[in-house]
Amino acid sequence: MAQRALDIIEKVDTIAGYSTYIELIKNIVKGKKVISTTMTKEVQRVELAINEVLNKKSCALISGGDSGIYAMAGLVFEICKKQNIKLFRANNCKASNSNQTEGSDGIEGSDVMEKRGERQNQLVLEIIPGIPALAAGAALAGAPLTHDFATISLSDLLTKWEIIEKRLELAAQADFAIVIYNPKSKKRDWQLTRAKELIVRHRDKQTPVAIVTGAMRENQNIIITDLDKMDKEDVGMQSILFVGSTASVQYLDFIFTPRGYGNKYNL
């Protein structure tokens, strides 16, 4: 967790988050009001957090990894736009907006919200960058993302599977290293095999793949395998997969993707 996030958690009145994430930080939120909801209750969670702020409380909305990557920051903006809530960047940081009409206030960003002034429907928002699973997992796997890569979630709860298939196919065709989020759950047990079928059309079956589960947590596990076997390994919702490009290499128990230095310089 970034130091800024720790500082804000200590400062705010209320903590809101998915129950699993709240459990991970329970030792540092003692004495604070906690809003905790289960999976699929994201809208309710964000609305409760916003209401805290509109009632003159400061609130930290907790996400796993980075709040802007498959997490809550986007939903905060979506709900605020729907409810016509004015947003201001924390610390009076200014941003130009060429589409902004004269006299209107600029939109600013954050996962920490505070009430500004006494007017209704206005709050200060700060999005605090975190360490996403793709960064933590890549560090454990080696250096699979040194060159261009694409990130795709296999969860079809919010995105149609047809769109996910198209993204997988095009990313494989374009020879991106591919980061796969949400690869498998108890209810979704076939999508990873289908993803393999799409990728293998454009990539060798022996393409190196790293599977990192619970990156930087107590249940951390790293598996180095290949494209052909990746759907047969122990994979769950805490797993993130790194599928190499055609340039990616397995070296010992690591995977790396050369940037191209070897083609330009004498190594």
How much is the pTM?
0.86
Last residue of a domain, one of 126, 159, 183: 126
Does residue 86 lie in a domain region? yes
- Same domain? For 140 and 56 the reply is no
pLDDT on residue 121: 79
- Same domain? For 52 and 139 the reply is no
| pLDDT, tens digit, 9 for 90 and up, residues 58-112 | 999 999 899 999 999 999 999 999 999 999 988 655 555 555 433 333 323 335 6
| pLDDT, tens digit, 9 for 90 and up, residues 171-208 | 999 999 999 999 999 889 999 999 999 999 999 999 99
Provide the domain limits for residue 47. Answer: 3-126
**b/e map of 140-167 (b: 16 or more CB within 10 Å)?**
bbbbbbbbebbbbbbbeeeeeeeebbeb
Maximal C-alpha separation, the chain: 64
Mean pLDDT within 137-161: 97
Least confident interval from 9-18, 112-121, 129-138: 112-121
- Same domain? For 13 and 58 the reply is yes
CATH number at residue 159: 3.30.950.10
pLDDT on residue 73: 95
| pLDDT, tens digit, 9 for 90 and up, residues 7-54 | 999 999 999 999 999 998 999 999 999 999 988 899 999 999 999 999
Total structural domains in the chain? 2
- Same domain? For 115 and 147 the reply is no
Those residues whose C-beta lies under 8 Å from the C-beta of residue 125, and which sit 6 or more positions away, are 76, 80, 87, 88, 89, 90, 108, 109, 110, 111, 112, 113
- Same domain? For 119 and 153 the reply is no
